Amino acid sequence: MSKLFTGAEIVFKCLKDQDVEFIFGYPGGAVLPIYDELKNHSSIKHILVRHEQGAGHAAEGYARSSGKPGVVLVTSGPGATNVVTALTDAYMDSVPLVCISGQVPTHLIGTDAFQECDTTGITRPCTKHNWLVKDIKDLSKVLHEAFQVATTGRPGPVLVDIPKDIQFAKTSYLKPKIKKKLNGKSLNNFSQKDIDHLIDLMNKSKKPIIYSGGGVINSGPEASEVLRELVELTGFPITSTLQGLGAYPGDDNQFLGMLGMHGTYEANNAMHDCDLLINIGARFDDRITGKIDEFSPKSKKVHIDIDPSSINKIIKVDLALVGDVKDVLKGINTTLKKKNIDLKKSNKQKISSWWEQIQKWRTKNSLNFINSDETIKPQYAVQKLYELTKDKDTFITTEVGQHQMWAAQHYKFNKPNRWMTSGGLGTMGYGLPAAVGVQIAHPKKLVIDIAGEASVLMTMQEMSTAVQYNLPIKIFILNNQYMGMVRQWQELLHEKNYSESYSEALPDFIKLAEAYGCKGIIAEKPFELDEKIKEMLKFDGPVIFDCRVDPNENCFPMIPSGKPHNQMILGPNEKEENKITGKGKALV
Amino acid sequence: MANPKSAYSVSTKKEKSDTHIIVVWVDNEAGVLARVVGLFSGRGYNIESLAVAEVDAKKNISRITIVTTGTPQVIDQIKLQLKKLVPVHKVADFKRNDKTVIFKEMALFKVVGNKNKIKKAINACKKYDAVILDKTKKSNVIQITALRREIDKMTKNLRKLGLVSVSRTGAVAMTRGDKVFN
């Protein structure tokens, strides 16, 4: 008979076989056997957070920046409910997480025991799949399957709920089996015929555009390489969603910037006027499409996605290639090269007037803003930060709001996995714990959380985690004393009734930093920004940077809701077009 | 959602809704029905009726039959979303008016009254394979198998004949001929 192991030992054997190096977690009654076992496994390091939501976001940051699944360990009841926000966030943004939660012993399940909750019931709609392990014999199989489900196909979070008695029970350990497919859920489902069809469309197109998304990042760094090759081979313009930033170099001439609600004028107009739209690993989110009925009305639409349920969900497409972005793009590039179709040359003539049009849109300079010598403009602060960190292979996380959009607009990413932001769920408080996770994955790299003062206060306690593990994360707060995006909407849509969007009693961030045992820096005038940012970068340890910015600045350009892409509001430099009156006002 | 202050756009195109019967083969494990039903409620799809039972004890497979209405786009989404669930093996979809598929529902009627009324009730049920499951001097329990709208009609008609209680199942479906859905 093979050797018997306790459930807690099996958990660690599984984690080792899945090459897990870090667990983000918080102990409690129902996971104590697993925490007890931790000391016997030196290859796995546990990162103690200050709140389970922080554990979830840290694991997300770890997963996004490293491409490996993030592992979370929490206790039953409140431990599990606290992690729900992070699981939902990971589900919306397709981040692979494996969450292990303790549960009350099996004989107490259903009795309203202390710290009991229906964890699998609560997390069912926010995970790809979850398991309640009621029999120790299932434990190793379930844990291996959990990793497989989280990381294959469209990645996402999973949860394994392990009752305390199962953690003590003994059984033999089963190694992971190499499974072919889960219930026949195949990944690649496209043919050469589809690729030929796409190339035919590319050949005929006069106004093409590539719209790439987070799927390219999830497909791995190689996918970004082949995407760059495709753009090079075709000479097509490319735009990106919020999640896709970094897959294509942000400072390249063929890149039109981000599209969508706060995307650039050229990207959105190109989306509207194109005759061929190639969606690569994006999902036609409502912040991207604007008014559905008038979304890119004249184009043939192609959708490349690993998730069959993304196809035709929002926008009906003419051609769908279901598969891993990397594999599909490789197929396209190979065919282009084999057929010796030099689209770049043959297309140059055909799409040259399209590029001329795009250049015209570009001259609007839609990300422009009116700078000031008196107050720090938030856009200026992000630009300064970019200039001073662009040579350092910097990892940026953000919270949610205006600062997030300014970061996306003004920070140019050149590599995938360098940009971690909560897009789908829009979770304020994501950035700080995510930065913790990123720094764990990349201890020598520069990690900056571009934050808003309202967001960052939601998970500020994780500074304590950063200090405990000597993680030199930089929290760059664009402090405008408002929930900026809420304030902006109230200004534009609710007759400047700034209902509850002003924070009357903000903490002194310098003192707060000192209280946590890290460094605090404040910048109040534009001229001191350079020096203060350099001071932040020089400091070897966590920093909270209180950057006092203009409280009334709005984030432009903007597609008002209910409007198509070609009806954007531009910034204050375009005053005459910026007037929203009468009927238009109601539509914003 | 015509609220002009909303952040979301509304599609003005209206597509026609159709009734479909969706058949799902799933692993018979704890919580699997909740996953399927939760997917419907969570994404705002409706369920008109539901029938579920294990059909293969050896392979541990249950068959779930769901009647739902939706536009072609919604029906497609339902199928694709169902296929993503880990315990789901396969999904079939039939239109209600598909002639190649048999749909059946079962109903139990309890009729209470005098002999005459009960006899009339039994007669009315005859064309739907009526079976008398229980009989007393004052009451009868009648089982019929029929289509949903036929059962609806019978339920209405039997009211005046002493119908006091109705219990009915969801629809089950099977293709005609020797073909099996794969």
Contact assignment for B86 to A562 by CB distance below 8 Å: no
* Residue type at position A122: I
Rounded Cα distance between A413 and A258, Å, is: 11
Q: Which of A128, A561, A587 sits opposite B7 (nearest CB)?
A: A561
Q: How far is B169 from chain A (nearest CA, A)?
A: 26
Contacts of B109 (CB under 8 A, 6+ apart): B121, B125, B141, B142, B143, B144, B154, B155, B158, B163, B165, B166
Residue A580 has pLDDT above 60, yes or no: no
Contact assignment for B9 to A182 by CB distance below 8 Å: no
Contact assignment for A128 to B86 by CB distance below 8 Å: yes
Catalytic-residue membership of A114: yes
**Structural contact between residues A265 and A366, judged by C-beta atoms closer than 8 angstroms:** yes
Contacts of A188 (CB under 8 A, 6+ apart): A322, A323, A324, A327, A328
Nearest CA in chain B to A289: B9
Q: Which of B4, B34, B86 sits opposite A129 (nearest CB)?
A: B86
The dihedrals phi and psi of B112, each to the nearest 5 degrees, come to -120, 130
Q: B89 and chain A: CB distance < 8 Å anywhere?
A: yes
Catalytic residue among A485, A536, A558, A568: A485
CA-derived radius of gyration, chain A: 25
Instruction: Give the pLDDT score at A186.
Output: 62
* Residue type at position A246: G
Secondary structure (H, E, C), A451-507: EEHHHHCCCHHHHHHHHHCCCCCEEEEEECCECHHHHHHHHHHCCCCCCCCECCCCC
Mutation site for B-interface testing, chosen from A132, A313, A315, A316 by largest number of B Cβ within 10 Å: A313
ipTM of the complex: 0.89
Residue A168 has pLDDT above 70, yes or no: yes
- Assign residue A5 a region (left: φ > 0; alpha: ψ between -120 and 50; beta: otherwise): beta
Q: Which of B4, B11, B84 sits opposite A293 (nearest CB)?
A: B11
Contact assignment for B83 to A561 by CB distance below 8 Å: no
**Structural contact between residues A230 and A397, judged by C-beta atoms closer than 8 angstroms:** no
Query: What b/e string do you get for A243-264 counting C-beta neighbours within 10 Å, with b at 16 or more?
Result: bbbbbbbbeeebbbbbbbbbbb
Q: B24 and chain A: CB distance < 8 Å anywhere?
A: no
Instruction: Give the pLDDT score at A586.
Output: 39
Rounded Cα distance between A549 and A491, Å, is: 18
Q: Which of A132, A494, A562 sits opposite B9 (nearest CB)?
A: A562
Residue A583 has pLDDT above 50, yes or no: no
Question: For residue A480, how many C-alpha atoms fall within 13 Å in the half-sphere facing its CB?
Answer: 27
Instruction: Give the pLDDT score at B171.
Output: 94
Contact assignment for B31 to A132 by CB distance below 8 Å: yes
Contacts of A27 (CB under 8 A, 6+ apart): A35, A75
Residue A575 has pLDDT above 60, yes or no: no
Tell me the longest C-alpha to C-alpha distance in chain B: 66
Q: Which of A124, A286, A311 sits opposite B38 (nearest CB)?
A: A124
Q: Which of B6, B84, B90 sits opposite A309 (nearest CB)?
A: B84
Contact assignment for B6 to A561 by CB distance below 8 Å: yes
Q: A110 and chain B: CB distance < 8 Å anywhere?
A: no
E-assigned strand segments in A2-128? 5-6, 22-25, 45-48, 70-74, 97-103
Q: Which helix (H) or strand (E) holds A539?
A: none
* Residue type at position A330: K
Of A35, A42, A44, the residue nearest A6 (C-alpha): A35
In total, the C-beta contacts within 8 angstroms joining chain A to chain B are: 67
Q: Which of B34, B73, B90 sits opposite A124 (nearest CB)?
A: B34
Helix (H, G, I), strand (E, B) or coil at A278: strand
Q: A179 and chain B: CB distance < 8 Å anywhere?
A: no
Q: How far is A69 from chain B (nearest CA, A)?
A: 19
Helix (H, G, I), strand (E, B) or coil at A382: helix
Q: How far is A57 from chain B (nearest CA, A)?
A: 24
Rounded Cα distance between B80 and B71, Å, is: 14
Six token digits for residue B173: 């479906």
Instruction: Give the pLDDT score at A578.
Output: 47
Catalytic-residue membership of A491: no
Rounded Cα distance between B97 and B19, Å, is: 8
Q: A34-65, pLDDT tens digit by residue?
A: 999 999 999 999 999 999 999 999 999 999 99
Average pLDDT score, chain A: 93
Contact assignment for B86 to A286 by CB distance below 8 Å: no
Contact assignment for A312 to B5 by CB distance below 8 Å: no
Contacts of A420 (CB under 8 A, 6+ apart): A60, A61, A64, A65, A395, A396, A397, A398, A431, A434, A435, A438
Q: A89-100, pLDDT tens digit by residue?
A: 999 999 999 999
Q: Are strands B18-27 and B88-95 parallel, antiparallel or unpaired?
A: antiparallel
Rounded Cα distance between A577 and A366, Å, is: 12
Q: Which helix (H) or strand (E) holds A568?
A: none
Catalytic-residue membership of A356: no
Query: What b/e string do you get for A217-226 counting C-beta neighbours within 10 Å, with b at 16 or more?
Result: bbbeeebbbb
Q: Tell me which residue has tokens 């360990």.
A: A73
Instruction: Give the pLDDT score at A564.
Output: 87
Nearest CA in chain B to A307: B84
Highest mean predicted confidence (pLDDT) among A175-189, A297-311, A347-361 = A297-311
Q: B11 and chain A: CB distance < 8 Å anywhere?
A: yes
Question: For residue A434, how many C-alpha atoms fall within 13 Å in the half-sphere facing its CB?
Answer: 35
Residue A585 has pLDDT above 50, yes or no: no
Q: Are strands A22-25 and A70-74 parallel, antiparallel or unpaired?
A: parallel
Contact assignment for B10 to A125 by CB distance below 8 Å: no
Rounded Cα distance between A115 and A75, Å, is: 9
Q: A174-227, pLDDT tens digit by residue?
A: 998 866 555 555 678 899 999 999 999 999 999 999 999 999 999 999 999 999
Q: A373 and chain B: CB distance < 8 Å anywhere?
A: no
How large is the angle between the packed helices A484-493 and A402-410, nearest 10 degrees?
100
A40 exposure class (CB count in 10 Å sphere: 0-12, 13-18, 19+): exposed
Q: A499-522, pLDDT tens digit by residue?
A: 999 999 999 999 999 999 999 999
Q: Strands across the sheet with A45-48, in order?
A: A45-48, A22-25, A70-74, A97-103, A157-163, A129-132
Q: How far is A344 from chain B (nearest CA, A)?
A: 37
Instruction: Give the pLDDT score at B2.
Output: 43
Per DSSP, the residues of A147-169 read HHHHHSSS--EEEEEEEHHHHH-
How large is the angle between the packed helices A343-362 and A265-273, nearest 10 degrees?
120
Q: A122-146, pLDDT tens digit by residue?
A: 999 999 999 999 999 999 999 999 9
Rounded Cα distance between A580 and A588, Å, is: 8
Mutation site for A-interface testing, chosen from B1, B3, B5, B75 by largest number of A Cβ within 10 Å: B5
Catalytic residue among A52, A116, A145, A453: A52
Residue A326 has pLDDT above 80, yes or no: yes
Rounded Cα distance between A13 and A174, Å, is: 9
Q: A403-421, pLDDT tens digit by residue?
A: 999 999 999 999 999 999 9
Per DSSP, A303 falls in state: E
Alpha-carbon distance values, A588 to A406, A554, A575, B4, B10 (Å): 21, 15, 16, 7, 13
Q: Which of A120, A128, A311 sits opposite B31 (nearest CB)?
A: A120
Which chain A residues contact residue B10 at CB under 8 A? 562
Instruction: Give the pLDDT score at A581.
Output: 43
Per DSSP, the residues of B12-73 read ------EEEEEEEEEE--TTHHHHHHHHHHHTT---SEEEEEEEETTTTEEEEEEEEEE-HH
Q: How far is A493 from chain B (nearest CA, A)?
A: 6
Per-residue pLDDT of chain B (182 residues; tens, 9 = 90+): 344 566 666 666 678 899 999 999 999 999 999 999 999 999 999 999 999 999 999 999 999 999 999 999 999 999 999 999 999 999 999 998 899 999 999 999 999 999 999 999 999 999 999 999 999 999 999 999 999 999 999 999 999 999 999 999 999 999 999 988 76
Q: Rounding to the nearest 10 degrees, give the CA dihedral for residues A168, A172, A173, A175.
A: -160
Catalytic-residue membership of A52: yes
Q: How far is A586 from chain B (nearest CA, A)?
A: 5
**Structural contact between residues A98 and A147, judged by C-beta atoms closer than 8 angstroms:** yes
**Structural contact between residues A156 and B84, judged by C-beta atoms closer than 8 angstroms:** no
Rounded Cα distance between B151 and A571, Å, is: 64
Q: How far is B54 from chain A (nearest CA, A)?
A: 18
Rounded Cα distance between B109 and A244, Å, is: 60
A575 exposure class (CB count in 10 Å sphere: 0-12, 13-18, 19+): exposed
* Residue type at position A116: E
Q: How far is B122 from chain A (nearest CA, A)?
A: 45
Nearest CA in chain A to B31: A121
Which chain A residues contact residue B88 at CB under 8 A? 183
Catalytic-residue membership of A574: no
Q: Is the peptide bond before A472 cis (omega within 30 degrees of 0)?
A: no
Mutation site for B-interface testing, chosen from A91, A284, A296, A561 by largest number of B Cβ within 10 Å: A561
Rounded Cα distance between A226 and A324, Å, is: 12
Q: Residue A347's pLDDT band (boundaries 50, 70, 90)?
A: confident
